[in-house]
Structure 1
Amino acid sequence: MPTPVQPPPQADPPLVGDHLAMDLLNTQARVDGADADAWTSGADVLHWLARQGIVPAAGGGSVDEAELLARAVDLRAQARRLIVARTQGRADDPAGLNAHLHACPATPSLERDGAGGFVLVRLARGDAVARLLLPVAEAVAGLLAEADFSLVRQCEHPDCVLWFFDRTKSHRRRWCSMAVCGNRHKAARFRASRRDGAAG
């Protein structure tokens, strides 16, 4: 009996957004002309969160991966809707995003800092999934409330759908990555100039 061919593992979504909210949107991309979702399981979401430095708290209980996937996909959809609306000069209803923020209330707590002093920390009180997604929801809320939205952009390459927050000094960033889409644009321009030169 022949061994079934396993599909190749999906590559990690690129972390080119320069903002957690942008990298959240970039978990949906276009690969070889087809829409692709980097999240097909809760394990995918956990892996992406770990790449962002967000890991389950020790002793925080087990994470229901199916629930994590469902809530992470909903958070991403809420973020996309609100961010796209804002780039178009509209303010959409934040109730869906607020549901994620309210699922994990945080309480201030005074803790010893190990050097004889104290530090004020916030303790999240939601379930394990809500605690994992809270930093992402807060990043989206912070972007919507505080960012200069003229710096929230999508890559200009016509085959790319990735987002980024332009932190460059000149604020003239055009590509998700100069190494990928920037080079693809330069190569296409070079080929076009050679064709025009040959035709002339």
Structure 2
Amino acid sequence: MATTASTNPDGPWFIAEHSALDFINTLARAEKGQHDFLQSDEDVMQWLRHLGLQVNVPGKPGELLASARKLREIIREVVEEKKQGKAVSLVKLNAWLVQAQSHLQLTQDDDGVVKIQRIFQVDTPQRALAPVAEMAAELIAQGQFEYIRQCEHPDCTLWFYDKTKAHRRRWCSMALCGNRAKVARFRAKS
């Protein structure tokens, strides 16, 4: 599942070029400190809907939010370990993956084009987040980590997958940190 670039100031931002990294980026350093874009179960469901997942998760209020925050930290830890060249601790992520219940379904559009769609069971918060865990697993196993980076701005914590042709991307987004760096360089010259 690909994400589209989006830098809505109210966030969350979809600028990482990989959904698992966008999920990590739901906790970001803003000008006034850390900002968590996931403040409610509805925020999590809205993030999942952005991926094209139809989610209405049963459970106690706050349970989906707590599960999402827990999964986000697990993914962040594994990405950081892999990026640092350390042995990757897969136990916690595998515990999420084992809960995934899904099946393939064939669909046909009005033009007769047949497509395969994966349908996830979403009867618990953990199962609702299973697609995110699967995206993280795909990134860890198949991602080219020489192109997975953190933004170079000293006040930014966002991650991205550099899919540019020259692989020289330095900022999470030119609209966010790239512009701040340009302004800072200009002010330093003045």
Corresponding residue for 2:27? 28
Partner of 2:15, secondary structure, is: coil
- Decide whether the 8 Å contact of 1:54 with 1:132 is kept in 2: no
Once the two structures are superposed, residues 86-143 of structure 1 have per-residue CA deviations (whole angstroms, 9 ceiling, x without a partner) of: 010013221111111111233456x574788976654434624344212211110000
- Alignment partners' CA distance in 1, 2:113 and 2:32: 56
Corresponding residue for 2:10? 11
Once the two structures are superposed, residues 50-103 of structure 1 have per-residue CA deviations (whole angstroms, 9 ceiling, x without a partner) of: 2232222xxxx7532422112111110110010000010013221111111111
Partner of 1:77, secondary structure, is: helix
Matched, 1:68 2:64: yes
Partner of 1:29, secondary structure, is: strand
- Alignment partners' CA distance in 1, 2:168 and 2:76: 23
Could you tell which deviates more after superposition, 47-56 or 35-44?
Answer: 47-56
- One-letter amino acid matched to 1:63: P
- Decide whether the 8 Å contact of 2:57 with 2:128 is kept in 1: no
Corresponding residue for 1:143? 139
- Alignment partners' CA distance in 1, 2:81 and 2:46: 29
Query: Percent of pairs identical after alignment?
Result: 42
Alignment RMSD (CA, Å): 2.4
Matched, 1:166 2:165: no
Matched, 1:47 2:42: no
- Alignment partners' CA distance in 2, 1:98 and 1:125: 17
- Decide whether the 8 Å contact of 1:156 with 1:174 is kept in 2: yes
Could you tell which deviates more after superposition, 68-77 or 80-89?
Answer: 68-77
Corresponding residue for 2:120? 124
> What's the CA shift for 1:35?
1.1
- Alignment partners' CA distance in 1, 2:119 and 2:187: 57
TM-score, normalised to structure 1, is 0.80
Alpha-carbon distance change, 15 to 117 in structure 1, aligned in 2, over 3 angstroms: closer
Matched, 1:78 2:74: yes
- Alignment partners' CA distance in 2, 1:40 and 1:142: 27
Alpha-carbon distance change, 107 to 33 in structure 1, aligned in 2, over 3 angstroms: same
Partner of 2:29, secondary structure, is: strand
- Alignment partners' CA distance in 2, 1:19 and 1:141: 12
Gaps of 5+ in 2: 1-8
| Bigger Rg, structure 1 or 2 | 1
Alignment size in residue pairs? 180
Matched, 1:190 2:190: no
Corresponding residue for 2:3? none
